[in-house]
Chain A
């Protein structure tokens, strides 16, 4: 199976995607979302619908709930959001078994993102891809540069634990196992607000499946860079949108001016 691609010829009208990400715990948005004029700053439903209105291409929920009892709350939330949202919803965080995936899809999630569980049990990727299709099978990779080798290592457990896995090789394995998309987070850039990790994104964008770049977004110019230089297929961001610094629409307007294909 080919895991990398050549530069394609021909015309494509496929748009680059902007994906706001909400951190969810016990059915509420955490890490403060602060929309101007929004009464309840912790309501993920109102926030998702606001992002949809602004022109978001997809919504991502990252479930950071620690306990299992609260997972039910997440499923109820997914069901309620999916009932109102007319754009795709991806849910990640704590997905560890095929049963978790079934529950999320049945609730109305369109895609499920797996991270630590996929590293510990790579067969989970095959199981999800074979059972429900690659289209719903997103593998999230947390990568950090190994200064000695100049290559990227895979981190798990929310960045707390470094593995021996080479991130690019791991991504290729995910593709052969049936992953449909890679959500790539740079742990050198996450939270720095000084731009996406362009070398990392560029290295991964030669892979044969779409790459969602994440970590470091702080202004529209960084999105231009991650698409034009990094060749990402989509970009995920949280705080830049949560604090109303930029609306999704404003970012897309700048992208369009800079020649990036977006859905307006």
Chain B
């Protein structure tokens, strides 16, 4: 059922920034990071310092509300700058969606527009999609498995090679994206059993390698 947990904990990034200005609740993600032994800083309007640690952007609620929160907390530029610098970035749920240009959920509101493409609504079945669905990885670096989704919308990346995972909900949809230092999951890895923890560890391991690279480049 679950992927083997064979990642060396010594080789994962051990300190991250969690943006908690994006609406909703980060409690669940923080509990998952604690399980992995990863220290986290909660970043919001009062401490907008980003860029020296890998960044996680969890987001729930409406696309427009999440963007409003990021704008009001003056976090849009710090996020864009950190990503441009090559800092590892993980978006979760609406944290994936806001990477794109726009969403059918909130017409007229611009996303972070870091990745080209738009966010669209499911057209069939119960909405939201709630529960465990299988994802198929397009990369040998990431395993396939079952993950926990809660979403009414999904991203349609303009660059097909940005699609990391595909899934089926009465249509094929993009369940995860990967582009350079950006990784993002439409589902909740922190609630997706051992496989979800493996995905978080895989990202943290990549972030660790990236940290080392950035250090070499800066020196």
Binding site for B on A (CB under 8 A): 5, 8-17, 52, 55, 57, 79, 82-84, 86-88, 105-110, 132-136, 180-181, 208-210, 233-234, 263-264
Contacts and interface: CB of A to CB of B under 8 A. Distances in A.
Contacts of B31: 79, 82-83, 108
B101 interface: no
Contacts of A263: 1, 132, 146
B150 A180 contact: yes
B138 interface: no
14 contacts: A8-B170, A57-B132, A83-B31, A86-B32, A134-B128, A135-B130, A136-B24, A180-B150, A181-B130, A208-B126, A208-B127, A210-B130, A233-B131, A264-B1
B68 interface: no
A13 B168 CA distance: 6
Contacts of A180: 128, 130, 150
Contacts of B168: 10-13
A23 to B, nearest CB: 23
Contacts of A8: 124-125, 170
Contacts of B151: 135
B147 to A, nearest CB: 10
Given A132-B24, A180-B130, 19 more contacts: A10-B170, A10-B171, A13-B168, A14-B131, A14-B169, A15-B131, A15-B133, A52-B193, A57-B132, A86-B193, A105-B27, A108-B28, A108-B31, A109-B27, A132-B61, A133-B60, A135-B128, A136-B25, A136-B60
Contacts of B218: none
A82 B188 CA distance: 14
B34 interface: yes
A109 to B, nearest CB: 8
A92 B60 CA distance: 20
Interface string B144-182: 001011111000000000000001111100000000000
A233 B190 CA distance: 22
Contacts, number: 122
Nearest to B30: A108
Q: For chain B, give the interface size range.
A: 35 or more
Interface centre among B23, B25, B30 (most CB of A within 10 A): B25
A88 B134 contact: no
Q: Is the interface of A mostly helix, strand, loop or mixed?
A: loop
A83 B31 CA distance: 5
Contacts of B126: 5, 208-210, 233
Contacts of A86: 32, 35, 190-194, 196-197
Closest 7 CB pairs of A and B: A8-B124, A10-B170, A133-B61, A105-B25, A135-B150, A133-B60, A108-B27
Nearest to A8: B124
Contacts of B110: none
A135 B23 CA distance: 13
Interface in B3-34: 23-25, 27-28, 30-32, 34
A105 B27 CA distance: 7
Contacts of B24: 105, 132-133, 136
Contacts of B130: 135, 180-181, 210, 233-234
